[in-house]
């Protein structure tokens, strides 16, 4: 009996110890993995932000290609899909994009039903060679679930690592194999009638283009107001020279130039020549325009065209008319033959 009594005491002590230690263990779990991808941020972002692209790289799609999927929207904030699978390592649940910052980050809400909830996240950063560092992570909480706290410490990393590493490897392959069309940028070739504009030329450091251009447009707008000249279209800028260090450009507003005399030495009447142009429609913040220009140059090269002049941008919908940066619209033109 003494042995049984001692054994009972030991069991009680171990149970108490189990719960006491469990309460000390962290109630929150965080996991992340990263990889470098030889592709622009916009390409990588499109593979993640468009939920229908997940079949290109998701490790769980590989485990059960026949899982049942239901989509509500396809990309960006509010897009959601549900999955149902009999595979023991896939199960059923929902994923919804709850935050999407163009070419930079994405956050998702995950609901695994009786298996709990969590949040996923993606952070995309530029690398020195023009590629992307992609970080994929997951966060969840155990609350007062003592067993789950132990699993956070001893089990979860072993469960998560193979799938996340496989998914990142698949994403790397999919993004690096993608072409300019995968940037979700509309590119076409069209004739442009040409136009005249009131412009001001400037040269500035590349990383100061936003500040410099703001000053130029302020002066142009002030002159138009003073002379009571009405713009005939959205603002634009022509890029004459570009390097990682500096940019030479001319910003302006299209006007009816007939009979207009400019009496400011810093300003002048310039023109966009009529002719054949490769045109891209860029949606979103100006930070993504670099990828749009790269996509256009790839299109020009792939289609045997030659650039014969300075490219220019037309800011169809900008910060002055639309506070939501995801709705900004910029037309980018390259004169070609």
SS3 159: helix
pLDDT of residue 219: 96
Q: Domain spans of the chain?
A: 24-177, 186-335
Class of domain 186-335: alpha beta
Helices (H), 81-206: 146-154, 156-177
Q: pLDDT tens string for the chain (337 positions)? A: 566 556 655 665 555 554 554 455 566 778 889 999 988 787 898 899 989 899 889 888 888 888 898 899 878 889 999 998 888 777 889 999 999 987 889 999 989 887 778 899 999 998 877 788 999 988 887 666 666 665 666 566 787 778 889 999 999 999 888 755 555 577 889 999 999 999 999 999 999 999 999 999 999 999 999 999 999 999 999 999 999 899 999 999 999 999 899 999 999 999 999 999 999 988 888 888 888 898 899 889 989 999 999 999 999 888 888 888 877 889 999 999 9
Q: What are 98-129's pLDDT values in tens digits?
A: 999 878 899 999 898 877 788 999 999 988 77
**pLDDT at res. 146:** 65
Q: Please check whether residue 113 is in contact with residue 92, taking contact to mean a CB–CB distance below 8 angstroms.
A: yes
CA distance linking residue 138 with residue 118, whole number of Å: 7
Q: Is the overall model pTM greater than 0.75, yes or no?
A: no
Residue-level pLDDT at 17: 55
pLDDT of residue 151: 63
| Statement: 24-177 belongs to CATH 1.10.8.60 | no
DSSP string, 165-191: HHHHHHHHHHHHH--GGGG--EEEEEE
Q: Which two tokens stand for residue 264?
A: 């400011």
Q: Residue 315: beta bridge partners?
A: 330
Contact present, 196 and 270 (Cβ < 8 Å): yes
In the chain, DSSP assigns E strands to 28-37, 68-72, 80-84, 93-101, 105-111, 117-126, 132-141, 186-192, 195-205, 236-242, 246-254, 268-272, 275-283, 312-317, 329-335
Predicted local confidence at residue 169, as pLDDT? 95
- The answer for residues whose C-beta is within 8 angstroms of residue 64's C-beta and 6 or more apart is 85, 86, 87, 90
Q: Which spans in 178-323 are helix H?
A: 209-227, 289-302
Residue 29 near residue 119 (C-beta atoms within 8 A): no
Model pLDDT, residue 287: 83
* Strand 275-283 with 68-72, pairing: unpaired
Exposure string of 106-123, with b = 16+ CB inside 10 Å and e = fewer, is bbbebeeeeeeebebbbb
* Selection from 285, 188, 193 nearest residue 232 by Cα: 193
């Amino acid at each position: 009996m003494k042995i049984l009594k001692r054994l009972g005491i030991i069991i009680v002590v171990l149970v108490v110890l189990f719960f006491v230690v469990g309460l000390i263990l962290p109630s929150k779990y965080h996991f992340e993995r990263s990889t470098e991808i030889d592709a622009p941020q916009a390409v990588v972002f499109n593979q993640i932000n468009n939920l229908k692209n997940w079949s290109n790289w998701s490790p769980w799609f590989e485990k059960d290609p026949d899982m049942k999927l239901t989509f509500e929207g396809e990309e960006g904030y509010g897009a959601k899909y549900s999955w149902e699978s009999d595979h023991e390592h896939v199960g059923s649940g929902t994923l919804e994009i709850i935050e999407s910052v163009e070419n930079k980050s994405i956050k998702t809400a995950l609901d695994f039903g009786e298996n709990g909830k969590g949040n996923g996240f993606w952070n995309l950063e530029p690398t020195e060679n023009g590629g992307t560092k992609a970080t994929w992570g997951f966060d969840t909480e155990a609350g007062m679930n003592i067993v789950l706290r132990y699993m956070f410490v001893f089990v979860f990393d072993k469960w998560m690592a193979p799938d996340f590493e496989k998914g990142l490897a698949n994403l790397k392959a999919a993004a690096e194999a993608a072409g300019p069309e995968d940037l979700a940028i509309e590119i076409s070739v069209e004739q442009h009638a040409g136009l005249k504009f009131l412009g001001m030329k400037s040269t500035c450091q590349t990383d100061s283009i936003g500040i410099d251009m703001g000053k130029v447009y302020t002066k142009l707008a002030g002159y138009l107001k003073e002379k009571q000249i009405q713009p005939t279209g959205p603002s634009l800028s022509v890029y004459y020279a570009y390097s990682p260090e500096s940019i030479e450009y001319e910003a302006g507003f299209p006007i009816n130039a007939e009979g207009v005399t400019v009496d400011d030495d810093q300003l002048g009447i310039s023109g966009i020549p009529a002719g054949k142009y490769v045109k891209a429609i860029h949606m979103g913040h100006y930070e993504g325009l670099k990828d749009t220009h790269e996509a256009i140059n790839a299109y020009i090269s792939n289609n045997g065209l030659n650039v014969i002049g300075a490219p220019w941008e037309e800011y169809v919908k900008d910060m002055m008319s639309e506070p939501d940066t995801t709705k900004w619209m910029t037309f980018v033109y390259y004169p070609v033959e």
